[in-house]
Structure 1
Amino acid sequence: MKNFFLFFFISAFCFSQNSRWTDYFSYFNIKKIEKSNDLLLCSTENGLFSYNENSGELKKISKVSGLHEVKVNAFTYNTNNNSVIIGYSNGKLDIVKDGEVHLIVDIPFEQNYQGSKQINHIDTDGDYALLSLDFGISVFDLKRMEFRETCYFKNGLTYYKVNKAAILDNKIYAATDYGIYSHENNGLIPNFASWNVYSSGTAYAHIAKFNSSLIIGTKTNLISTSSNGTSWQSIGSYPNLKDIVPTTSKSILIVQDKIISVLNENFVKTNTVSYSESLNTGYLSNGIIYAGTQLKGIQKNNQFIAPDGPYNNSSYSINLLDNKIWIAPGGRNNDNLYRPISNTYGYYYFNGNIWEHIAYDKMNKELYPMRVIPNPSNLNETYVFSYLNGLIKMVDANLSVIFNRNNSPIKFYERLTGGAYDNKGNLIALQAYALNGSKPHNSLIFKTQNDQFAYIDLTSVALSNSDSSTMNPYVDDKGYVWIPAQRGNGLVVYNYNNTPLNTGDDKIYVIENKENKGNLPSNNVICVTLDNSNTAWIGMDVGLRIFRNPYSSLESGSYNVERVIIEQNGLGEEVLRDIRVNCIAVDAANRKWVGTQTSGVFYLSEDGKTLLNKFNSDNSPIPTNMITDIQIDKSGEVFFVTPSGVVSYRGDITDTGDKFGDILAYPNPVRPGYTGNITIKGLAHDAFVKITDVAGNLVYETKAPGGVATWNGNNFNNKPVASGIYLVLMSNADGSEHATTKIAVIR
């Protein structure tokens, strides 16, 4: 068993290190702890990690390193088959066996069943895994890797959720909110009417095997049974009972909210440990109690153990600067964007070395952090945009001041939906539903570096719908603020001419669903970004549009957006038609990363007419298909934010500037049979690239936007080049820098 787990975790870890993907998941909420020799195996919300009791080494496994899903809800391992079994909230299973991860998706469902498929608990007995589900019980054969039987716990139109189950003497016992149900583990279990019920009407949350009996628990009381499960005896009262964990034949852990008790085989309490953190579970190993906390990993004595990461997986927006990361968990409903939803997560900050948690009570118990923006000229100063409480200034992670109705032009309700710094160091914020007088308004707020404010009421001139909820603005370098108004007001463009305190020279424009005023397909605009050629890319609830030459077009007074058409199989099709677009990011090669509400991420060419790649929860480590933010750092690492956590993808495009980096060509050598592109990376931005044979004959030339060039291995006649050594000659855009490398081609 030891060799199996060491192999699995080490190989998974090595894979993740070499992958283009990185997870930024939280591993602090411990769901269950198992053990294999000197390894403690811990399940968390989005994956597992191992802790070596002897060396202290930590290793994690997630979708990045081989798992197929997130939202781990059940976990165990079976020594009989050397199998790790992971159950997810969507009803899927991962079974890790012989160093491979097998995805099991075919739990037999009733034809008309439309309810939850969540796996709540997994127990094993010999070659079988017993799954407790939101609708009943299913038995999985670990040897044959197939489902044997499933029973729907159905009474009329009501399905009984099975919280946990266990097998004792070839008999299944299921703990439900309606009593304990039992049945022989035979071919008749699908017939729910044939199951026996004990203590009907009582809610039972826990059940576990211990020696030759069962330990059964409600949320407050503990009961032991005889070997045949029929004779019950009270063990005692344990309020806020969280888990029952048999550790050996001699002891069992009883886990309450902040207490772990050790009982011996006679159910006599031999030890009690109190904790300051809320618990989910625990484990006893080598005389040490490991407490599985909800917020800080596993606790060993006074030490907290978990892989470093954000405090929580709930995420809404991200900001990147100088190898530092700020993640806000959000304060809005992702389906109904104008509705606030509170949380107590604070925000998460990576300082370049470790993750820090800025607790909500350090921000006057802020419950609605929409976005966290660092001051570019002073990274120790950050601003939290709240959806109900105003603009919160943090200095060295401590509360400095809250700008609200009392000390700034921000109105009641202090509902800030987003903001950004401009290139002059002014902080710009959007406020929705500002009660200015007797009627709610939408406003634009400017704060200068010395805390002077300007307040612009947008309702009377642009946002006619006073209930409109604005989204995060895009602030360009020409003094324009681009304001998506997702509740029917289109895209508002405010030109403040880089003079925020002087409103006399300001202009305002509206791009909407009227001919010659934008001709948008929908006035529900959710995001906007300007690319490297100053074309505006507009995301709506029904798709994507582009707006060319925006400044001159807006000045002309007559303007329309354009569809983006992609050609497939000779037919033109509108890109992302009828798909809600939540965010758009532009990389150094002017390519577009488009995040959607239900379909993951689309990677488009510079003009949007070619789909370069698509990432979703089925073909990548992205946790869910709902993408709420995308940001790209200078190294080309692309960060995808979802409500279930953050992952990143390291592509080839980098923001290299005018200097060459470490030149790398791959594959190199190009071996027989290879027909894909050859990639050359580490180039200066927009570098000129010439490829010649050793005699100096030019066979190919191109330009390298984003520091990357590709060559298909063909010459100017589109014929594959012959075997040989080819020289790659490169110069930056102004010819001041040069570089060379070689590519070997073997035909």
Structure 2
Amino acid sequence: MFRKIAVIILCVSSILVGAQDYSASWKGYFSFYNVKTVVEGNSKIYAAADNAVFVYDKQTNDIHEITTINGLSGETISTIYYSDAYELLVVGYENGLMEIVFDNDNDVLTIVDILDKVTIPPTSKRINHFYAFNNLVYISTRYGVSVFDLERLEFGDTFFIGNGGTQVQVNQTTVYDNYIYAACAGDQGLRRASLLDTNLIDFNNWETVTTGSFIAVTTQGDNLYAVRSDRRLFKIENGLFTELIQFGDSPLDVQAVNNNLVVTTRNNMFVYDTMFNLVSQLDIDSNFTTQYTSGVADTNYMFVGTRDFGVLKVDLFNTSTIEEIHPNGLLLNRPFGLQAEPNGLWVTFGEHDLWYNPYPLNSRGISHLKHGEWINTAYSDLFDAKCLNKISVNPFNKNQVFISSFFNGLLELNDEIPTFLYNETNSALESLVLANNPSYVDIRIGASAFDSNGVLWVTNGFSEHQIKSLNPSSNQWKSYSIDQIVPEPALNHGFKDIIVDNNGVKWMTAGYSYGVIAFNENGGNPKMKAIYSEEQNMPFTFSTAIAMDKRNQLWIGTYRGLRVLYNTSDIFENDNIQVNEIIIEEGGIAKELLFQQYITDIKVDGSNNKWIGTSDSGIFYFSADGQKTIYHFTTENSPLPSNVIQDISIDEVNGVVYIATSRGLVSFLSGSSSPFTTLEKAYAYPNPVRPNFNIVEDKVKIKDISENVNIKITDIEGNLVAEGQSRTNQRYGGYNLEIDGGTAYWNGKNLANNIVASGVYLVMLSDLDTYETKVLKIMVVR
């Protein structure tokens, strides 16, 4: 029972939130190379990466992922613990959040007691370690020790064990001879209290065993060990400390598992038996240049977490036998640039900040999802190209890819192989010029896009000619200045987006002063115009995203809201260009859509609907005109790892929306696809519709239809069952037959709103533009 002492009691009951399994519509793409913590339980190895966990079954060698798709929060993990007795995994986070993952179902319980406690400073809420004794888990944190009951799934007492009841950082706890020991940082010593004492919340009942700063304390059978911050390991007997060893590096992880004492440093892993005899020692292998983080061992193998290779499985007695264990995944959980393709995705990780500053420069590779498998290319294989960001795939040669470097130029890959780096010495690309250091080279290549002729257009910020074009077939470069709008290169540091419309006009987001720039080379007599002023109804001069929809309307995201240019055809002739906000009705009140929101990206799907990412509010999915919010996904109602959206890219063939966040990459199967030019390939699925198929919820899909189509569904006798037309029965309109781009959805209901009986149904497709027709048959079995 809790004692009502405000200073030292954390909370009176655990706040539990059941997390949802999102695997039906969502998919996660997480990196598992950087493993922070490794634990063992239930004949499995549990490894925590940045914000996800993978489970390795030692008997079957199967690997299972636990991510935001299964209900994890996506926050940064600090430690984990597995309970064999209760068959559950406890996950602790840097921010104090706790989550419990149960073995036998998909439930994840989110526990926010520590996270929400206002009397604990946010910087002190980090969970450092879990230690279980009987049904209780002792939680080591930066403020002290909290107790969680695994039987009742609720918090117990919290112990502030510093002098005078102050908060002290506890790195690890253990129970030995009916005492709980706490390894404290900051010269707060090794402290203990008797478990027979029912008043451990009273700091006076905690005694200091010895002074100093302690990294770890653990129990191995009848042995009690402690590790001090000076890298010395002690055995404690009858209150006496016996130094056994001083490690060359500071121990990062100390665990007693399977009668072994396992100590992991960044360069070594040591396994000791109950007599402190060294059973095995693992040093850094030349084939796996990395740093170790955490490890466990059984009677045959060591399992050590690494910074770069997931978990290494090493023979206990032949350490040259090493197996790399982790799920297939991308390089990092910090995706920055995306480019989708049918059944694939390119990912870069080269960040720059809001003001187009790439420093400190990062040296990261690239990842390519191809037919369900990740192909990762390390930075060392990319001609030392730093800060890789935007990606363009040649529409006439899908195996040729260009990736912008915001420091080194433009990287070309062919058939997955980096083949050339364009820079100031071998192309028209230009470096910025520093008056005090004229030899310094910094080539800021950002947004890029192909036009309909296969010419690649790239933006070259901080340079005299900020627009460049490359014809890959002839290797011919051309350069263009926009000094009519940007008089000095230093006034425009970069471009977030560039698109080429059907008239060959290049539209660019131009840094934080010039809004959107329209440019056309016009046969050597360039035309250009900027949209950024208040008089043009722009909410801010800083444009951050643009997209041209299927009606040739330009959607503009800014640092402070959304605008649309409805008529783009007369951009150079019209001297009174005006952009418009979108006004929606909400609760009977007229409001501006995304008022004052910092918009990070805009993408248009096959149905002309809009996906709009924001800097802190997740991602929105709007109808074609913006009047209806179809979805608004955040970390609260979806598996988004973060509400900070970095980039969006859509596989229009399969209706997959890829979403890069500041903490990871996920995708959503929207079902929306681009229409086809003919009805030749149209088909329906599932077909037949079997009794176990939920036709009302999951719907029959009629795929690969044309843009302007009429669909009639009749029974075999010709009685009309359902009818729809592309421009009328749009998706999310509540119709029994809805049409969304290249796909139609039938919920199995007839005109009387009843589910149809078993039988054969005819789907009659009519293209309203070409008069092409096609008839499909669907068998429904109920």
Normalised by the length of structure 1, the TM-score is: 0.87
Partner of 2:221: 211
Say if 2:687 and 2:778, in contact at 8 Å, map to a contact too: no
1:158 and 1:337 map into 2 onto residues whose CA distance is: 44
Match for residue 388 of structure 2 among 369, 375, 387? 369
Mark the CA change 1:240 to 1:170 in structure 2 (over 3 Å): closer, same or farther: closer
Q: Which amino acid aligns with 2:575?
A: G
Deviations 1:696-732 (A, max 9, x none): 247543323412335688888xx64586577543334
Deviation at 1:481, TM superposition (A): 1.7
Q: How far is 1:575 from its partner?
A: 1.3
The residue that corresponds to 2:497 in the other structure is: 472
Q: Which of 583, 586, 597 is 1:568 aligned to?
A: 586
1:420 equivalent in alignment to 2:420: no
CA distance in 2, matches of 1:608, 1:666: 34
Q: Does 1:176 align with 2:200?
A: no
SS of the aligned residue for 1:423 comes to coil
Aligned-pair identity (%):
24
Give the equivalent residue in structure 2 for 1:494. 519
Residues 1:222 and 2:232 aligned together: yes
2:654 alignment partner AA: S
Match of 1:255 in 2: 264
> Which residue of 2 is the match for residue 445 of structure 1?
468
1:688 to 710, 724, 749: 710
Supply the distance in 1 between the matched residues of 2:617 and 2:368 (Cα, whole angstroms).
28
1:290 is aligned to 303
User: What is the CA–CA distance in structure 2 between the aligned matches of 1:388 and 1:21, rounded to whole Å?
Assistant: 35
- After superposition, the Cα gap between the structure-2 partners of 1:684 and 1:398, relative to the gap in structure 1 and judged at 3 Å, is closer
In 1, Cα distance between the equivalents of 2:688 and 2:74?
Answer: 31
Alignment of 1:313 with 2:333, yes or no, is yes
- Deviation, 1:85, is 0.6
Residue type of the alignment partner of 2:518: V
Please tell me whether the aligned partners of residues 714 and 720 of structure 2 are also in contact (alpha carbons under 8 angstroms). Answer: yes
Residues 39, 418 of structure 1: alpha-carbon distance in 2 compared, 3 angstrom cutoff: same
Superposed, 1:24-423 pairs within 5 Å as: 24-97=29-102, 99=105, 100-107=107-114, 109-111=117-119, 113-115=121-123, 117-152=125-160, 160-168=168-176, 169-184=178-193, 185=195, 188-191=199-202, 195-197=206-208, 200=211, 202-218=212-228, 221-226=231-236, 231-249=241-259, 251-276=260-285, 277-300=290-313, 301-333=321-353, 336-352=355-371, 354-409=373-428, 410-412=430-432, 413-423=442-452
Change (3 A) 1:594 1:519: same
- Cα 1:460–1:155 shift into 2, 3 Å: farther
Query: Which position in structure 2 is the counterpart of 1:655?
Result: 674
SS of corresponding position for 2:570: helix
Which residue among 614, 632, 642 is the counterpart of 1:624? Answer: 642
Q: Give the number of equivalent residue pairs.
A: 713
Give the Cα separation in 1 of the matches to 2:261 and 2:766.
70
- Structure 2 counterpart of 1:513, one-letter code: S
Structure 1 residue 382: Cα displacement: 2.9
Q: Which amino acid aligns with 1:641?
A: A
CA distance 1:574–1:667, change in 2 (3 Å)? farther
Give the whole-Å Cα distance in 1 for the aligned partners of 2:625 and 2:164: 57
- Identify which range, 416-425 or 588-597, moves more after superposition: 416-425
Instruction: Name whichever of 297-306 and 183-192 sits farther off.
Output: 183-192
Q: Distance in 1 between matches of 2:169 and 2:683?
A: 57
Q: Give the Å deviation of 1:621.
A: 1.0
- Check 1:460–1:554 CA distance in 2 against 1; reply closer, same or farther (3 A cut): closer
Q: Does the residue aligned with 1:562 lie in a helix, a strand or coil? A: coil
**CA 1:254–1:674 in 2, change beyond 3 Å: closer, same or farther?**
closer
Report the AA paired with residue 126 of structure 1: N
When residues 357 and 205 of structure 1 are mapped into structure 2, their CA distance, relative to the original with a 3 A threshold, is farther
TM superposition shift of 1:376: 3.4
Residues 630-681 of structure 1 show CA distances to partners (whole Å, capped at 9, x for unaligned) of 111121110001121111011221235234444137997999x999896644
The one-letter amino acid paired with 1:309 is G
Counterpart of 1:544, as a letter, is: L
For residue 314 of structure 1, give the secondary structure of its aligned residue in structure 2: coil
Q: Displacement of 1:312 after TM fit?
A: 1.5
**TM-score of the superposition, structure 2-length normalised?**
0.83
Task: Specify the code of the residue in structure 2 equivalent to 1:32.
Answer: T
Structure 1 portions without partners, runs of 5+: 1-13, 437-441
Q: Give the drift of 1:564.
A: 1.2
**Alignment partner of 1:115: what SS?**
helix
Partners of 2:142 and 2:744 in 1: how far apart? 52
Q: Please, which of 472, 482, 485 is the counterpart of residue 461 of structure 1?
A: 485
Q: Counterpart in 2 of 1:9?
A: none
Deviations 1:106-133 (A, max 9, x none): 2262437343533222221111112222
Task: Look up the SS of the partner of 1:231 in the other structure.
Answer: strand
CA RMSD of aligned residues (A): 3.3
Hey, what does 1:484 align to over in structure 2? 509
How far apart are the structure 1 equivalents of 2:449 and 2:208? 61
CA positional deviation for 1:29: 1.8
Q: Flag the 1:493–1:205 CA change in 2: closer, same or farther, 3 A.
A: farther
1:701 paired with 2:724, answer yes
Query: Quick one: which of 646, 665, 674 aligns to 2:665?
Result: 646
- Counterpart position of 1:6: none
Aligned pair in 2 of structure 1 residues 387, 154: CA closer, same or farther (>3 Å)? farther
Asked if the contact 1:62/1:70 (under 8 Å) is kept, the reply is no
User: What is the alpha-carbon distance in structure 2 between the residues aligned to residue 269 and residue 396 of structure 1?
Assistant: 49
* Structure 2: distance between partners of 1:396 and 1:697: 51
The 3 A distance-change label for structure 1 pair 538 and 198 is: farther
Contact 2:762 2:775 in 1 (8 A): no
1:236 Cα shift? 2.5
Aligned residue for 2:736? none
Contact 1:447–1:454 (CA<8 Å) still a contact in 2?
A: yes
Q: 1:160 to 1:458 in 2, by over 3 A?
A: farther
Per-residue CA deviation, residues 559-581 of structure 1 (Å, 9 max, x unaligned), is 11111122233322211111111
